[in-house]
Amino acid sequence: MSKRIEVRDLNVYYGKFKAVEDVNLTIEPRSVTAFIGPSGCGKSTFLRTINRMHEVIPGAYVEGEVLVDGNNLYGKGVDPVLVRRQVGMVFQRPNPFPTMSIADNVLAGVKLNNRRIAKSDAEALVEKSLRGANLWNEVKDRLDRPGSSLSGGQQQRLCIARAIAVEPEVILMDEPCSALDPISTLAIEDLIEELKTDYTIVIVTHNMQQASRVSDKTAFFNIAGTGMPGKLIEYDETATIFSNPAVKATEDYVSGKFG
Amino acid sequence: MTATLPPRAAADPQGAGPARVNSYTSGKLPRWAAPALTVACLMGAIAVVALLAAAGAIGEFSLVLAVILGTVSAIALITTISLIAEGRRAATNRFMIALVITAFVVALLPLVSVLSTVLVNGAPRFDLQFFTWSMRSVIGEGGGALHAIVGTLQITAWATLISVPIGLFAAIYLVEYGRGPLARAITFFVDVMTGIPSIVAGLFAYALFALIFGEGVRLGFAGSVALSVLMIPVVVRSSEEMLKLVPNELREAAYALGVPKWLTVVKVVLPTAAAGIITGITLAIARVIGETAPLLIVAGFTSSMNYNAFSERMQSLPVFVYTQYANPGTDVDVYLERAWAGALTLIIIVMALNLIARLITRLFQPKAGR
Ligand SMILES: Nc1ncnc2c1ncn2[C@@H]1O[C@H](COP(=O)(O)OP(=O)(O)OP(=O)(O)O)[C@@H](O)[C@H]1O
Ligand SMILES: [Mg+2]
């Protein structure tokens, strides 16, 4: 189910603006990788190149290679739709579909693709995904209510349920817990721990404790100044990054001495 | 603010003991002050104008003059009193509120006046015969506008059928796919089309159908084509705005689930924007349903029933109103009454359309449910 991700010489652009420069890293299957770094250093931008969401923005493009199990995502003739079916994503801001009920939001990956699903299978999938996202108990009595009737944190967990319902091989999470309370955050972290046995997970976070709790490896990104591209500074085992980093900037950042 | 106070304190802030006065309300005019002053000013103005008229200073009594005088003096008085009692900020606020209310009333006046005039004049002939008869071999009294109602509904329906797909697809192209020179060109020509005089649209449709059927062609459907020339830019513009309102995050959410772009547009973007798009289409229909000039040219006028938009002349309500008014027989009043009744019918149809649009909007709107 899970896949190895290799990134080679990746430059990411918004039109003329180079947002991320020269990233090289390898993400092992069945692992959790955390991206940390100051705001605006290009974590989200880089994350979005791993499922070809970056090019959705007008004028945005990518140079270099991203290999998933050896297949270059940016090779000629690659269908981004197929890529995104294997590499799911949870966004920084919760974005449930306002026209759909809670249950339909979970089933969105199936229904929007016009795939048929038996009613009992659909119900089972909804329950499994919502339990997986630790939301089931809160919404089981109102599955037919609109998704936008939930609180911000509940909406985010609904989006996680929606992402795992399509059973991708890789899950990208862009600050999934930034809108959540500590209890839901712990639930998501436990969830990540469980998902790790099947999926490859990449998570962007501003929370150092979270990075050290959930991730096996950590990548530290930094930016030299405004208008400059973000760069991958250090990539290593999480324990090493937090206790004994090789680069001074990493040490300053994880110990809070930054800036 | 005053709502939480006991009534006495609200009406008379100074009179109550200091312990009972809410300090935030001190130095405030009571709530009824502004409305009361306005009423007083209006009455005063009417009295003054009446007196002047009686004294022979201004000729006849004029209600318009009285209302203008009363409004201006009310605004001035309220602002001055507020300035003295409440200070600059509150006075500015009251002045602006007064201006806004005045503008609102002024904007409403023509509407109310049109409605009441049409209602009063249209009512006498707004009867069963009006909706069951055509004007065939009717001279003088009686007769009806059934042929015109049927014509208007058919011509507008065909115009909608032509315009909505073209306009909606153009809007989808512009918002979801269009980049570069082609999109800019479409936007430019839509803007140009918005400004086309309706008579030109009529001449265009006539020229087009004359090429096919020869000179002197008159068709209901040709009228629909003329109307759709006027309708398409409105549909494009309003749908475009509504599609732009759909947050990009929703599109990205669908993409991230591996949904192809066209399915995202069909199943996420369009449903989310549906309420606004439908409202826009209804407004576009309301915009063209009262068009007279192009239909006069290309659909012609007739006093007989014609259920087929693809052959022969077709009467429509605006043209009906026009012909009744422009070519009265010997008994002018009968013709004028029919014209008014036709106008009333047209207004009712447009109102019904708006109501339907509101209903549909409510049905389709993304449910917030909070
Ligand atoms: N749509 C866009 N168009 C142009 N530039 C963009 C766009 N989105 C982001 N950028 C720029 O790219 C750089 C990286 O942004 P990015 O969103 O990846 O930062 P981030 O590391 O995720 O920050 P945060 O931690 O605040 O989410 C920033 O300089 C930002 O201004
Ligand atoms: Mg970000």
Query: Which tens digits make up the pLDDT trace of A209-221?
Result: 999 999 999 999 9
* Per-residue tokens: A82: 């197929």
Q: Which residue is closest to B273 within chain A, CA to CA?
A: A99
Confidence of residue A259 (pLDDT cuts 50, 70, 90): low
> Given the DSSP bridges, would you call strands A87-90 and A170-174 parallel, antiparallel or unpaired?
parallel
Alpha-carbon gap, residue B82 to B71, rounded angstroms: 16
Phi/psi of residue A19, nearest 5 degrees: -90, -35
B142/B212 Cα distance (integer angstroms):
38
Interface contact B255-A56, CB threshold 8 A: yes
B23-27, B91-95, B228-232: segment of lowest average pLDDT:
B23-27
How much is the pLDDT for A258?
63
Across the interface, of A97, A149, A163, the residue whose CB is closest to B250 is A97
Over 70: is that where the pLDDT of B21 sits? no
Nearest partner of A255 among A192, A187, A185, A208, judged by Cα? A208
A95 touches chain B (CB under 8 A): yes
Helix (H) or strand (E) holding B75: helix B63-86
Structure tokens at A204: 């962007």
In angstroms, the CA B47 to CA A167 distance is: 81
How far, in Å, from the CA of A195 to the mean position of ligand 2? 22
Shortest CA distance from A48: residue in chain B: B256
Residue B368: the pLDDT is 52
- pLDDT tens digits for B276-297? 899 899 989 998 999 999 999 9
> What type of residue sits at position B76?
A
Average pLDDT for chain B? 88
Structural domains present in chain A: 5-255 (3.40.50.300)
Can you give the three-state secondary structure of chain A, one letter per residue? Answer: CCCCEEEEEEEEEECCEEEEEEEEEEECCCCEEEEECCCCCCHHHHHHHCCCCHHHCCCEEEEEEEEECCEECCCCCCCHHHHHHHEEEECCCCCCCCCCEHHHHHCHHHHCCCCCCCHHHHHHHHHHHHHHCCCHHHHCCCCCCEHHHCCHHHHHHHHHHHHHHCCCCEEEEECCCCCCCHHHHHHHHHHHHHHCCCCEEEEECCCHHHHHHHCCEEEEEEECCCCCCEEEEEEEEHHHHHHCCCCHHHHHHHCCCCC
**C-alpha–C-alpha distance, residues B15 and A41, integer Å:** 64
Quote the CA–CA distance of A155 and A96 in Å, as a whole number: 6
Residue A26 has pLDDT above 50, yes or no: yes
Query: Count of residues for chain B?
Result: 370
Q: Which residues of A are less than 8 Å from B264 in CB distance?
A: 112
Q: Residue B296: what pLDDT?
A: 92
pLDDT at B1 over 90: no
Q: Which residues contact B229 (CB under 8 A, 6 or more apart)?
A: B193, B196, B201, B204, B205
Over residues B220-233, mean pLDDT = 95
Minimal C-alpha gap between A242 and chain B (Å): 32
What pLDDT is stored for residue B116 in this prediction?
95
B254: pLDDT strictly greater than 70: yes
**Among the bound ligands, the one closest to the CA of A219:** 1
Average pLDDT over residues B227-233: 95
**Letter string b/e over residues B94-112, b meaning 16 or more CB atoms within 10 A of that residue's CB:** bbeebeeeeeeeeeeeeee
Contact A41, A222 (CB under 8 A): yes
Residue A43 Cβ < 6 Å to ligand 1: yes
- Which chain B residues are closer than 8 Å to A89 by Cβ? 256
Alpha-carbon span A211 to A222, nearest angstrom: 16
Domain spans in chain B, listed from the N-terminal domain onward: 33-124, 132-364
Which ligand number lies closest to the CA of residue A224?
Answer: 1
Ligand (nearest to CA of A16): 1
Tell me whether strands A17-27 and A200-204 are parallel, antiparallel or unpaired. Answer: unpaired
User: May I ask the CATH class of domain B132-364?
Assistant: mainly alpha
Ligand 1 pocket member A229 (CB < 6 A): no
- To 10 degrees, the CA torsion angle through A120, A124, A127, A130? -120
- End-to-end distance of chain A based on CA atoms, in angstroms? 41
Query: A44: Cβ below 6 Å to ligand 1?
Result: yes
Contact assignment for A93 to B251 by CB distance below 8 Å? no
pTM: 0.82
Dist. CA B339–CA A75, nearest whole Å:
70
Q: How far apart are CA A193 and CA B206, in angstroms?
A: 72
Ligand 1, residue A227: give the atom nearest the CA: 29
B239-254 mean pLDDT: 94
Assess whether the C-beta atom of A59 lies below 6 angstroms from ligand 1. Answer: no
For residue B16, is pLDDT > 60? Answer: no
Which pLDDT band holds residue B7 (cuts at 50, 70, 90)?
Answer: very low
CA–CA distance, A241 with B187 (Å, rounded to integer): 53
Cα Rg of chain B, angstroms: 29
Tell how far the Cα of A109 is from the centroid of ligand 1, in angstroms. 27
| Lowest-pLDDT choice from B97-101, B106-110, B211-215 | B211-215
Residues of B within 8 A of A81 (CB-CB) are 255, 258-260
Q: Contact B259/A113, CB-based, under 8 Å?
A: yes
Rg of chain A taking only CA atoms, in angstroms: 18
Query: What average pLDDT score do residues A169-174 get?
Result: 92
Lowest mean pLDDT segment, chosen from B50-64, B65-79, B164-178, B229-243: B50-64
CA distance B319 to A84: 57
Tell me what percent of the residues of chain B surpass a pLDDT of 90.
60
- State the virtual CA torsion across A83, A87, A90, A91 in degrees, nearest 10: -40
B135 within 8 A of B147, measured Cβ to Cβ: yes
Contact A146 B369 (CB under 8 A): yes
Atom 3 (ligand 1) nearest CA: A14
Tell me the best of A11, A13, A44 to mutate to test the pocket of ligand 1, counting ligand atoms within 8 Å of each CB and taking the most.
Answer: A44
Closest of A11, A18, A36 to residue A247, by C-alpha: A36
Q: Mean of the pLDDT values across residues A160-189?
A: 87
Interface contact A29, partner B, CB < 8 A:
no
* pLDDT digit string, tens, across residues A112-136: 988 888 999 999 999 999 988 888 9
For A84, name the nearest residue in chain B, comparing CA atoms only. B258
Among A82, A92, A19, A9, which Cα is nearest to A52's?
A82
State the Cα–Cα distance between residues B347 and B329, nearest whole angstrom. 25
Q: Report which ligand 1 atom has the smallest distance to the Cα of A47.
A: 18
Mean pLDDT across A159-170: 90
Label residues A120-138 b or e (16+ Cβ within 10 Å = b): eebeebbbebbebbbbbeb
Residues contacting B306, CB < 8 A, separation 6+: B147, B150, B151, B220, B312, B313, B314, B315
**Contact, B144 vs B304, CB < 8 A?**
no
To the nearest whole number, what is the mean pLDDT of chain A? Answer: 90
DSSP B265: I
Say yes or no for a CB contact (<8 Å) between A51 and B256.
Answer: yes
CA-nearest of A44, A50, A2 to A19 is A44
Q: Cα separation of A131 and A135, whole Å?
A: 6
Closest to A84 in 3D by CA, of A103, A63, A64, A66: A66
Q: Measuring from atom 18 of ligand 1, which residue has the nearest CA?
A: A42
**Amino acid B9: pLDDT:** 43
**A contacts of B251 (beta carbons < 8 Å):** 56
Contact A154, A106 (CB under 8 A): no
| pLDDT tens track for A100-117 | 999 999 999 999 988 888
The best mutation among A35, A36, A43, A56 to test binding of ligand 1, ranked by most ligand atoms within 8 Å of the C-beta, falls on A43
A32-36 β-sheet, strand order: A71-72, A60-68, A5-14, A17-27, A230-237, A217-223, A32-36, A200-204, A170-174, A87-90
How many residues does this entry show for chain A?
Answer: 259
Residue nearest to atom 14 of ligand 1 (CA): A42
State pLDDT tens for residues A51-85: 999 999 989 999 999 999 889 999 999 999 999 99
Can you give the pLDDT at residue B6? 47
By C-alpha distance, the chain B residue nearest A114 is B263
pLDDT at residue A92, rounded to an integer:
86
